[in-house]
Structure 1
Amino acid sequence: MRRLTLMMLAAASVALAGCMVGPNYQRPTVETPEQWRIDLPKAEEVVNTKWWEQFGDPVLNQLIETALRDNLDVRVAAARVDQFIGILRTSRAQALPQISYNANASHNRTSEVGMPPLSPALDPEFNLYQGTLAAFWQIDLFGRVRRLNEAAQAQVYASEQAQRGVVLSLVAGVANSYITLRGLDRQREIAVATAANFGETMRIFELRYKSGLVSETEVSQVRSQFKLAQTAIPAIDQQIAILENGISVLLGHNPGPIPRGKSIDELMLPVIPADIPSTVLERRPDILQAEQNLVAANANVGATRALYYPNISLTGLLGSVSTAFSDFLTGPAQAWSVGAGLTGPIFTSGAIRGQVRSAEAQKQQAELFYQQAVLNALGDTNDALIGAQKTIEQVVLQQQRVDSLREYARLSRLKFESGLIGYLDVLVSENDLFAAELSLASLSAQRYTQVVSVYQAMGGGWVDLADAMTPVPLGSVQTHK
């Protein structure tokens, strides 16, 4: 007994110092440019703030807070983190001793004419009472369980990054939708004001037509212009309703109206972060998730290779067995056993080799996916930075065009009133002005949404700030934030 105990302790000590089969994880090398394709002023730490507050609209801040609290996708992602935490706990338990119990009582009858036949002196009916404590410990000599734990831990981290990715998309989605909504509100104001202006012109022309001062053709032209402005209003209303319903879903609420704050012209333009190429992109949730999936795939290679090596286990049993309840748990009824087991493959017809090859292929896929995620992040960020700057330039140019068209329309109307030109020239100038004003309102909204795209592309510490505003499900264990 003492010798067996010493053997078990020696095996345990060897397990604690045992090696792990398989490659240790090393981050793949991915070339990243030193600078972006566009030169923007450096803005240190701007990307780590609640950037949506820079718009200066309390209503937008409240909408984002509500979405982070009530959005169902965020809740699903948080529950998925808990799922992988449960898997991790199950995996870790494999490396620790397992203790179980068993107890039962039964009334039995044995055959009197069996082989061998029962002695006539013995009663064929008897009671049996059993109670045992069993212990089992798998010695992780070659690190298979540790590799499985490593993979499970990486999956927890990956699920947390997936949750951060949902938060990132949610905040950007609410901000973009709200800004687009305010842009549509501005377009509706322009359409209503233009329709009212054209309506007044139509009323004047109808009076002039009755007085014989203008022709029916000119009245028809003015009426067509008025209807054009009126037609734009229900089309914009439809877009507004659809967008409000979409925002409501993001908020986790039933479709309905959305409160408004500042107008599109009153919003402040957040600072555009730049010159932070590597440190910020490394914190993007999709990149971190892809890397953790690679870590898990790498660990699974080691766990699969460990199948070639033997499994060592220690078992123990302590209990009591008796046919009489009065003798149960007494010394004579005591039963125990201690043992050690060794199992391993000899010939598997290539089954293990196939599993190893599959695991290595999955690792290769994960590595390529990680590299692709980095490239996509670089592309997204460059696109967002270029879009932010070029949209601002478009807004300036479009504003100049609107100013020119407004002056053109004013001068055309003066010439018409003086009888120098026909109303067709006025109609063309005013219709061009109407279209240009609608385009300016749309570009003004895009100017802000492009900045949102910059923050979304760069990720950064603000995602953690937003994630901290989301609810944590009961039983959730924060393992890696």
Structure 2
Amino acid sequence: MKISHTALAASLALLLGGCMVGPDYHRPQVPVATQYKELPGWTQAAPSDAAPKGDWWSAFNDPLLNELEPQVSVSNQTVRQAYANYQEALADVKIARASLFPTIGVSGSGTKQRTARSTTTISPSFQPVSTSGSVEGNISWAPDLWGKVRRTIEENKATAQASQATLANATLSEQTALATAVVELRVADANIDLLQKTVDAYTEFLRVVENQGSAGTTPPSDVITARTQLENAKASLIALGVARSQYMHAIAVLVGKNPEELDIPHSTTLPALPNVPVGVPSTLLERRPDIAVAERQMAAQNAAVGVAIAAYYPSVSLSAADGFSQSPLAGLLHLANHVWSVGADVDETVFDFGARHGEVTAAKAAYEAAVANYRGTVLTAFQNVEDDLSGLRILAQQAEVVDAAVKDSTQGAQIAMNEYEAGTVDYTTAATAQATQLSTEQSALSVQQQRLLDTVSLIGDLGGGWSADQLSDSKQPTGAAR
């Protein structure tokens, strides 16, 4: 009886498209507020209607950031490790997908032998040398009747997407770490400039006090106080060199260089403070790669439940072989030497004393753990953004006050020094005013530093311009490290 090609194709499609046991995946709902708690009452100076995209660091208008940030995605070792893990996950998808299709092979053998006619040891005689051989093609296939292979593919694809999001998350984390290190370096340079200016001022103050001491109009203790104040400022200036070197070394490692390979010149300009459009909380579910990692892990665990459930059902495997076998070897490929075989194997576990039930229970528990991890990651993301927003709101208010304090302390130090030179106050009053001025200026610099750091943190916590729609089913990664 002949079977038509159409019927054969329909049967094959039916086997390939068999049912899939286990739960289909649906993303669990999480409570999301309509707006951030910190936004009411605080209006950005220049709000924008679009989230940061692409080279988000360019908003800081810092040449060093613009030069080094692109190197993170190709040279940072943490990113390269995440990229390799992603490649491994893609390979696992290919391996799982291959199980949907038959395995085809070819085998061949050849034998040359001579046997004895007689077993007597006095005058043994031998058969003529004979040759034999065979060549055979074989095919085997285990149709995915219950969807175990397809659930495995689903699990591995979700795992690969989680690895892709992990790569994005690692890249973003290292980029924000680099931006933080550059801000710290720039602030260290600004502190150096401030202390150098202070040292110059204290040097001039010491000259004035020494002149008055030589004239006998001021006690020697004032000279000692002025000299001590200058020496302390010089010591603080020298100490900043340690922090600056450490920031520079950290920057080198973040871009995949040895510390001695990178030399960053002193800069007198702080990065600009950009305005970051925040959007609404629900956008975090798509814009943060760590949330995407947790969500894809949850999808993978859901598919793993189906893989475990499929173990309850019998497995079927089909095999066939076709070829030639001949002894002697001559004429191997003649039609008379044609051999073939077909077979089927059905395997079903009858009693396993609860092993499969335990596997299903474990898979479901792992899924519930993934759900809790996903929801916890979302809550942490909201907390991160709220922390950043509250920091920026409060620091903006503090900056206004401390800037006014800088003006007052600068004026107070100048008045105190003029009064000292006029002899109306002692040097302790002038020295205290000078110390207050320095402390206030350092506080203002510290506030500006924290505002920059909180802005970097906010951009990172908003996803840095990344979006979950970048997750792809393609076999080749995009925008990955090389």
TM-score normalized by the length of structure 2: 0.89
Equivalent-residue separation in structure 2 for 1:136 and 1:304 (angstroms): 24
Change (3 A) 1:343 1:112: farther
- For residue 368 of structure 2, what is the aligned residue in structure 1? 364
Equivalent pair of 2:75/2:255 in contact (CA under 8 Å): yes
- Are 2:311 and 1:312 equivalent residues in the alignment? no
- Are 2:101 and 1:96 equivalent residues in the alignment? yes
Equivalent pair of 2:315/2:348 in contact (CA under 8 Å): yes
- For residue 138 of structure 1, what is the aligned residue in structure 2? 142
Equivalent-residue separation in structure 2 for 1:304 and 1:355 (angstroms): 6
- For residue 78 of structure 1, what is the aligned residue in structure 2? 83
- For residue 45 of structure 1, what is the aligned residue in structure 2? 50
Change (3 A) 1:293 1:332: same
Q: Secondary structure at the match of 1:303?
A: helix
- For residue 155 of structure 1, what is the aligned residue in structure 2? 159
Give the C-alpha shift of residue 14 in structure 1.
3.4
Equivalent-residue separation in structure 1 for 2:9 and 2:173 (angstroms): 53
Letter of the structure 2 residue corresponding to residue 16 of structure 1: L
Equivalent-residue separation in structure 1 for 2:334 and 2:266 (angstroms): 81
Equivalent pair of 1:99/1:135 in contact (CA under 8 Å): yes
Equivalent-residue separation in structure 1 for 2:60 and 2:313 (angstroms): 61
Q: Please give the residue correspondences for 1:261-272 in structure 2 after superposition, counting only pairs within 5 Å.
A: 263-265=268-270, 267-272=271-276
- Are 2:294 and 1:290 equivalent residues in the alignment? yes
After superposing the two structures, state which structure 1 stretch, 18-27 or 212-221, moved more.
212-221
Letter of the structure 2 residue corresponding to residue 336 of structure 1: W
Equivalent-residue separation in structure 2 for 1:465 and 1:26 (angstroms): 17
After superposing the two structures, state which structure 1 stretch, 308-317 or 276-285, moved more.
276-285
TM-score normalized by the length of structure 1: 0.89
Change (3 A) 1:245 1:306: same
Q: Please give the residue correspondences for 1:320-339 in structure 2 after superposition, counting only pairs within 5 Å.
A: 320-339=324-343
| RMSD between superposed Cα atoms in Å | 3.0
After superposing the two structures, state which structure 1 stretch, 378-387 or 166-175, moved more.
166-175
Give the C-alpha shift of residue 275 in structure 1.
3.3
After superposing the two structures, state which structure 1 stretch, 426-435 or 68-77, moved more.
68-77
Change (3 A) 1:26 1:146: same
- For residue 22 of structure 2, what is the aligned residue in structure 1? 22
- Are 2:177 and 1:178 equivalent residues in the alignment? no
Would you say how many aligned residue pairs link Structure 1 and Structure 2? 468
Equivalent-residue separation in structure 2 for 1:433 and 1:287 (angstroms): 46
- Are 2:447 and 1:448 equivalent residues in the alignment? no
Q: What do the CA deviations read for 1:130-155 (whole angstroms, capped 9, x no partner)?
A: 22211111111110000000001001
Equivalent pair of 1:264/1:444 in contact (CA under 8 Å): no
Q: Secondary structure at the match of 2:316?
A: strand
Equivalent-residue separation in structure 1 for 2:332 and 2:245 (angstroms): 77
Give the C-alpha shift of residue 262 in structure 1.
6.5
Letter of the structure 1 residue corresponding to residue 476 of structure 2: V
- Are 2:382 and 1:383 equivalent residues in the alignment? no
Question: Structure 2 stretches of 5 or more lacking a match?
Answer: none
Equivalent-residue separation in structure 1 for 2:116 and 2:258 (angstroms): 72
Equivalent pair of 2:189/2:267 in contact (CA under 8 Å): no
Equivalent pair of 1:388/1:454 in contact (CA under 8 Å): no
Equivalent-residue separation in structure 2 for 1:308 and 1:268 (angstroms): 62
After superposing the two structures, state which structure 1 stretch, 437-446 or 285-294, moved more.
437-446
Give the C-alpha shift of residue 300 in structure 1.
0.6
Q: Secondary structure at the match of 1:139?
A: coil
Q: Secondary structure at the match of 2:247?
A: helix
Equivalent-residue separation in structure 1 for 2:221 and 2:479 (angstroms): 74
- Are 2:264 and 1:248 equivalent residues in the alignment? no
Change (3 A) 1:171 1:479: closer
Equivalent pair of 2:117/2:126 in contact (CA under 8 Å): no
Give the C-alpha shift of residue 102 in structure 1.
1.5
Equivalent-residue separation in structure 1 for 2:322 and 2:328 (angstroms): 19
Q: What do the CA deviations read for 1:363-416 (whole angstroms, capped 9, x no partner)?
A: 111111001110011111111111122222222221111111111111111111
- For residue 344 of structure 1, what is the aligned residue in structure 2? 348
Question: Structure 1 stretches of 5 or more lacking a match?
Answer: 115-119, 468-474
Q: What do the CA deviations read for 1:306-352 (whole angstroms, capped 9, x no partner)?
A: 00001112211112222322122222222211122211111111111
- For residue 471 of structure 1, what is the aligned residue in structure 2? none
Q: What do the CA deviations read for 1:257-314 (whole angstroms, capped 9, x no partner)?
A: 443596445x332122123211244221000011110111000100110000011122
Give the C-alpha shift of residue 47 in structure 1.
2.6
Equivalent-residue separation in structure 2 for 1:374 and 1:113 (angstroms): 85
Equivalent pair of 1:59/1:261 in contact (CA under 8 Å): no
